[in-house]
Amino acid sequence: MTRDELKTKKIGVLMGGLSAEREISLSSGGAVHKALLARGYDAVAIDVDRDLPQVLVREWIDVAFICLHGRYGEDGAVQGVLELMGIPYTGSGVLASALAMNKIFAKQAFAAAGLTITPHRVLVRGETFDAVAAGIDLPVVVKPSQEGSSVGVSIVKKAEELAAALEAAFRYDNEILVEKFVKGREIQVGILDDRAMGAIEIVPKKEFYDFEAKYTDGMAEHICPPVLPADLYRKLLAEGEKAHRALGCAGYSRVDFLVTEGGDCFLLEVNTLPGMTALSLLPEIAQKEAGIAFEELVERILVSASLKIQGPGTGDRVQKNTRNHRGNAGRGAGCLFLPVPGPWSPITDFMRDLHVKTRIQPANKSRNRVKKERKPINWRPLITWGSRAVLGALAVAVVGGAGYKGYAFASRYEIAVLQVEAIEVSKLRHLTRDEVLGQAGVRRGDSMLGLRLRRIGEQLAKNPWIEKVQVRRYFPHTIRIEVVEREPVAVVNMGFLYYLDAKGEVFKPLTQGDSLNFPVITGITEDDLARDPKGAREMLTGAVALMDMLKKGRAFTLADVSEVHIDKGFGLTLFTAGGGVPVRLGKDGYETKLARFATVYGELKTQMTAVEYIDCDYQDKIIVKKG
């Protein structure tokens, strides 16, 4: 989505959440919310709780800017809800977020991509201390498998410290990671638009860059850019991008490394939703390495918002001449990144189809749309089912093999329970309900999750009457198709007659039964449109703007005009409805010229049969040539 498009939408900044990093998230979200308001966006701060789906429906947001950290925000859970509700969002998708948050799965993906990771061991709650201690060489780093901001992390140098460290980590997770302690410099690489912006070195005042050091001013020194040999610096940036891609991340992230004195680079983790506070690293990297100020960084991240399961870069809009500027490689549910065998097509198609709606916004601000009251949705089974689907896909991606059976089971379950029973179509002026449904190809009894909503939208967008279309899925049994039809404002005579809309677009040849009760525009040919489409459209847009002025007129109005002629050298000429007398207006200053002509039109109206032409293309006079 472009910045201009986003200025017409309501942006929800999701912050807070349920994890141990709630306060940091509120700080990040507050800073982002303030930046969006300063840039002129319609942004609302949303404190995320367990009632998030209901809040999103109530707030009626169009795009989500995620500023959540830790569990239930950075792990793909919220991303899954947004995918199901069809709300484009910032950052990585469900699978990438879940993988990055789970340090165990992430390390498997990093190793498969050929990246260097620290030696480690996974411990499960219930393992005895003796059994664990026997296989660990000190010093080690103990951390929960699914927390961020160094929550629950300890450095253990002595055997007697290990029990307390394990207990602290198990407070946050049933699985923990015990890594070999590697002494080195802490270097973070900032990623924006899937490219490395630069890096920063963290030198904590205390031995370990823990939660306190990260979020307390003065507790750590930031060196940006880090002092490193040029080849090592370039290697870090390249490996940062490689790690970002290895997890299938989208948009932006922060990649953390340890660099030893010998120049070895150990990849620690990828943060898919890095902090956006005044002390956060990504904004500092953007400012000092890429010259991107905080507000600009926030806006750049916002512009990248999309629905990932549909494929990165495709966005959520379906209309004519839609282009995918980013391509489909490297991110999203369609990209399974671990090099293990398995029948991927069924499971990737299944995940791609989980999006809830294809949204194409009307020209007016989305918050002015009429909301249709519906019975409250019981989200618990949907989220539970969606979570199982995501976890199932994750398991397939990591271990391979069972994809087809899992897909077949899910399909049988869904066909038995979720079928289309009602199809709603918005009010139409030019098309009929049967025409819309016939082109959409949707029928009662179809699978709710099997429908490709984006494909339906693209199919409908081929109809010349349809300017924008929105296809939504309301669980458990309803599909709604909302159509914005084009409204003709004139007929363009180019040898054949065509309708012209208010944006100056020629969109449909007239056929039998189409109304001719519109002003006619002449002077533009099909060759003009083919040779110089931009120039021809500018001239047509100028003619439409002139007609808008005439609609507001009193003495001389659009009803007094039968034709608007475009002359590439002279400008615009009107032909009166009574007698077809040409009124020359030239190339500019139409409002002033029309106002001057309106003062004499009443008197001239009775003499039109004797008038050959009227020339208004003067600053202070009108010339009337009589025959």
* Most confidently predicted of 145-159, 239-253, 350-364, 413-427: 239-253
Is the pLDDT at 325 greater than 80? The verdict is no
Is the pLDDT at 137 greater than 80? The verdict is no
**Residue pLDDT, tens place only, 487-537:** 999 999 998 999 999 989 999 999 988 999 898 999 999 999 899 989 899
Whole-number Å distance between alpha carbons of 134 and 376: 54
Q: What is the pLDDT of residue 577?
A: 87
Average pLDDT score over the chain: 80
* 310-485: CATH topology: Ubiquitin-like (UB roll) (3.10.20)
> What is the separation of C-alpha 235 from the centre of its chain, rounded to a whole number of angstroms?
31
pLDDT band at 338 (very low <50, low <70, confident <90, very high): very low
Is the pLDDT at 117 greater than 90? The verdict is yes
Q: What is the pLDDT of residue 37?
A: 97
Domain boundaries in the chain?
120-180, 310-485, 488-626
Q: How many residues does the chain have?
A: 627
Q: Which residues are catalytic?
A: 21, 149, 215, 254, 256, 269, 271, 275
Q: In the beta sheet, which residues pair with residue 142? A: 154, 178
Is the pLDDT at 302 greater than 80? The verdict is yes
Q: What is the pLDDT of residue 270?
A: 95
Return the higher-pLDDT residue of 438 and 329.
438
Distances (CA, A) of 333 to 97, 250, 616: 11, 11, 62
How is the beta sheet containing 252-259 ordered, strand by strand? 220-223, 195-204, 185-192, 252-259, 265-271
- Identify whether the C-beta of residue 574 lies closer than 8 Å to the C-beta of residue 564: yes
Is the pLDDT at 133 greater than 50? The verdict is yes
* 488-626: CATH topology: Rossmann fold (3.40.50)
Q: What is the pLDDT of residue 206?
A: 60
Q: What is the pLDDT of residue 130?
A: 60
Return the higher-pLDDT residue of 251 and 54.
251
Is the pLDDT at 115 greater than 80? The verdict is yes
Is the pLDDT at 356 greater than 70? The verdict is no
Is the pLDDT at 380 greater than 80? The verdict is no
Dihedral-angle region of residue 248 (phi above 0 means left; psi in -120 to 50 means alpha; beta otherwise): left
Is the pLDDT at 333 greater than 50? The verdict is no
pLDDT band at 217 (very low <50, low <70, confident <90, very high): low
pLDDT band at 148 (very low <50, low <70, confident <90, very high): low
Amino acid at 307: L
Whole-number Å distance between alpha carbons of 334 and 311: 7
Is the pLDDT at 347 greater than 70? The verdict is no
Burial 431-440 (b: 16+ CB within 10 A, else e): beeeebbebb
Q: What is the pLDDT of residue 147?
A: 63
Q: What is the pLDDT of residue 73?
A: 87
Q: Give 563-567 contacts, CB < 8 A, sequence gap 24+.
A: 563/519, 563/520, 563/521, 563/522, 564/490, 564/519, 564/520, 564/521, 564/522, 565/521, 565/522, 565/523, 566/521, 566/522, 566/523, 566/524, 566/539, 566/540, 566/542, 567/523
**Residue pLDDT, tens place only, 242-252:** 999 999 999 99
Percent of the chain with pLDDT over 70: 78
Is the pLDDT at 417 greater than 60? The verdict is no
CATH number for the 120-180 domain, one of 3.30.1490.20, 1.10.1040.10, 3.40.50.300, 1.10.3720.10?
3.30.1490.20
